[in-house]
Homo-oligomer: A and B are copies of this chain.
Amino acid sequence: MSDPTFAARPTLEEVAARAGVSRATVSRVVNGSEGVRAPLAERVRAAVDELGYVPNQAARTLVTRRNGAVAVVVAEPETRFFADPFFAQQVRGISKELTVHDNQLVLLLTEGAADYQRVGRYLAGGHVDGALIFSLHDDNSLPEMARRAGVATVIGGRPGWSDAASGPTTLYVDCDNRGGARDAVRHLLGLGRRRIAHIAGPLDQTASIDRLDGFRDVLPNTDPALVAEGDFTPEGGALAMEELLKRSPDLDAVFAASDVMASGALRVLRRRGLRVPEDVAVIGFDDIVSVAEWTDPPLTTIRQDIEEMGRMMARLLLRALESPSGDGAAPVALAPIVTPTQLVVRASA
């Protein structure tokens, strides 16, 4: 072994020997527990520094049953996960919050239902203390696996299934999709628009459904020809826009269920020589800054604080981990979170 790299890492035992104390004492100092006299503690700390001691996590986990790690499970083709800035921001928030609480983020990407087995085994293997699941479509098999594995879980976005009467509350974090959609449509109405179209997201996702519901709350009698389904990509937004223009050439406003789709719609409008917002007002959803501020014209949209939602997911999960997890004692604030949205007016509407 010429490589110093492979010098065995020091153990508690060695630190104890060096400091002339017992393993137990070192453990106490390292874990910051009370009741070690200052000078002794000092000696231990010195030994730790000199040896460059770092606790072995596996050994610790074996006895504490805590990993200090949380899985982020994405039940979506990876393509989609990475293509969509929405996830990125959310993961960023999660990462930050976990870091603050000294937890690690284990990323579990699934390319389809075939990978669920693997995820299930992983969760059951006790690698992680909890899971944050993005299960976009109406499929609860992943959360169900987590439950069976005894892993606390928080879902990103309102799940499409309803809790069985018996089961515990499913924790999730979502924004007020429906309310936000209402605000969007009202804004367009306030601008005097009367032929308002909607580019919906894929209608097997609750976010899409809720936004469509919000749209209909305000415009209950909308001509069905004024609603087209996209897929949260720019291409999908463009296609939907073309469809809408074909069906209703007289439309004077569009509410797209995401900024990304709105950007696709804007391209189509420009290509057709339609002016935004003079001829057609356009409003998006999300306020993905890198998209909304860079479209031409910049996009009016409904803002949700995506990164903050990520933080909330992590925080909620961490809190669930702390909680007694018995029946009676179930304590404060272990409930789904729905965050408010906010209209951001730029140039497109």
Contacts and interface: CB of A to CB of B under 8 A. Distances in A.
Interface stretch (A52-60, A132-140, A154-162): A52-60
Contacts of A95: 78, 107, 109
Interface residues of A, number: 59
A3 interface: yes
Interface in A55-90: 55-59, 61-62, 67, 69, 72, 78-79, 82-83, 85, 88-89
A46 interface: no
B104 A105 contact: no
Nearest to A61: B58
A121 interface: yes
Task: Point out which of A72, A121, A126 has the most chain B C-beta atoms below 10 A from its C-beta.
Answer: A126
Contact of A54 (B54, B58, B69, B125): B125
Contacts of A99: 109, 115, 118
Interface stretch (A4-12, A209-217, A276-284): A4-12
Nearest to A92: B78
A95 B74 CA distance: 12
A111 to B, nearest CB: 8
Interface in A102-146: 102, 104-109, 111, 115, 118, 121-122, 124-127
Contacts of A72: 107
A330 B57 CA distance: 29
A168 interface: yes
Contact of A9 (B56, B67, B78, B150): B150
B126 A58 contact: yes
Contacts of A148: 5
Nearest to A166: B2
9 contacts: A2-B326, A2-B327, A54-B121, A56-B125, A72-B107, A78-B96, A95-B109, A102-B118, A104-B106
Interface of A: 1-3, 5-7, 9, 52, 54-59, 61-62, 67, 69, 72, 78-79, 82-83, 85, 88-89, 91-92, 95-96, 99, 102, 104-109, 111, 115, 118, 121-122, 124-127, 147-148, 150, 168, 234, 267, 290, 294, 296, 325-327
